[in-house]
Amino acid sequence: MERKRIVAANWKMNTLHAEAIELALEVLEHTKKLEAVSKIIFPPFTYLHEISGLIKGKAGFATGAQNCSNHIKGAFTGEISAPMIKSLDAEYVLIGHSERRAYFNEDAALLTEKAQLALNSGLQIIYCVGESLDERKTGKQEMVVQRQLKEVLASLPKQNSNSILVAYEPVWAIGTGETANPSQAQEMHAFIRTVLAQIFDAQIAETMPILYGGSCNPQNAKELFACKDVDGGLIGGASLKANEFTAIVNSFS
Ligand code: PGA
């Protein structure tokens, strides 16, 4: 079964306006030949519209938002809704990134509301899961990831499953320079697929893309992407340098 190959760039709260546009243009130019790999850029909200405009009509590129509100509209000062994101021609939204869980106290109930609204608004979601260092050291990683998957994905309608992607991002590997080795990544991705089969069904589990994230870089991407159940990456730090991001995309060729 051939699954989509995807490399996503999570810029987080980085880049000023001119830097963001320059980075987007460089990435577009350097990765455009690799049409077989979907490139998804998650810039800060403030540049989402402009970057969505830059990539419009370009095969193999899409944009997404790093977050969305759990409300659809109304008196929620400072919030940005899923329909607003969709109206900017963005196609994706990240749900449940570990930084949102840790620093903004986003729990399963809130993430479920966000995921439901995003799907209802016609966006695709990348749902992020991953264990902490303590949880891995004590052998709880599968239990934690299974819980994170079930407590949000199980309440989403099965007919939306083709708009759902998963990213496995062990918290101990995010921004630390420490990466899951290919066998740790493969083992967890295969496990995630068994949980997806319980939540949805075997066919959906087989087709749903699962990305790896956490200090993925040009040196380790090839080995990680070669794993049977790793369908690409969600890249933070290395996505802020066009040459590094390009090298990661090229790891698929
Ligand atoms: P990193 O971040 O590549 O900088 O570790 C990945 C992520 O948080 O999505």
Q: How does DSSP classify residue 71?
A: S
User: Is residue 199 helix, strand or coil?
Assistant: helix
Instruction: Band the pLDDT of 54: cuts 50, 70, 90.
Output: very high
How much of the chain exceeds pLDDT 90, in percent?
94
Ranges of beta strands (E only) in the chain are 5-10, 37-42, 61-65, 92-95, 124-129, 164-168, 210-213, 232-235
Of the residues 97, 131, 135, 189, only one is catalytic, namely: 97
CA atoms within 13 A on the CB side of 193: 20
Q: Is 57 helix (H, G, I), strand (E, B) or coil?
A: coil
What 3-state DSSP class applies to 128? strand
Q: What is the pLDDT of residues 75-107, one digit of tens each?
A: 999 999 999 999 999 999 999 999 999 999 999
The two three-digit tokens of residue 211, written as one number: 């990305």
pLDDT (0 to 100) of residue 1: 64
SS3 state at 73: coil
Write out pLDDT tens, residues 124-154.
Answer: 999 999 999 999 999 999 999 999 999 999 9
Return the beta strands (E) in 77-160 as ranges.
92-95, 124-129
pTM here is 0.97
244 in contact with ligand 1, CB cutoff 6 A = no
- Mean pLDDT across the stretch 20-32? 96
Active site residue 169: yes
DSSP annotation of 240:
G
Cβ of 232 below 6 Å from ligand 1: no
In the numeric block, the tokens 């090298």 are attached to 247
209 lines ligand 1 (CB under 6 A): no
Q: What is the per-residue pLDDT across 148-182, written as a single tens digit (0 to 9) for each?
A: 999 999 999 999 999 999 999 999 999 888 888 99
**Ligand 1 pocket test: which of 14, 93, 215, 224 has the largest number of ligand atoms within 8 Å of its C-beta?**
215
Distance 99 CA to ligand 1 centre (A): 10
Residue 240 tokens read as 């802020």
Q: What is the mean pLDDT of the chain?
A: 96
Q: What is the structure's pLDDT at 176?
A: 85
175 CA distance to ligand 1 middle (Å): 5
Q: Measured in angstroms, how far is the CA atom of residue 191 from the centroid of ligand 1? A: 21
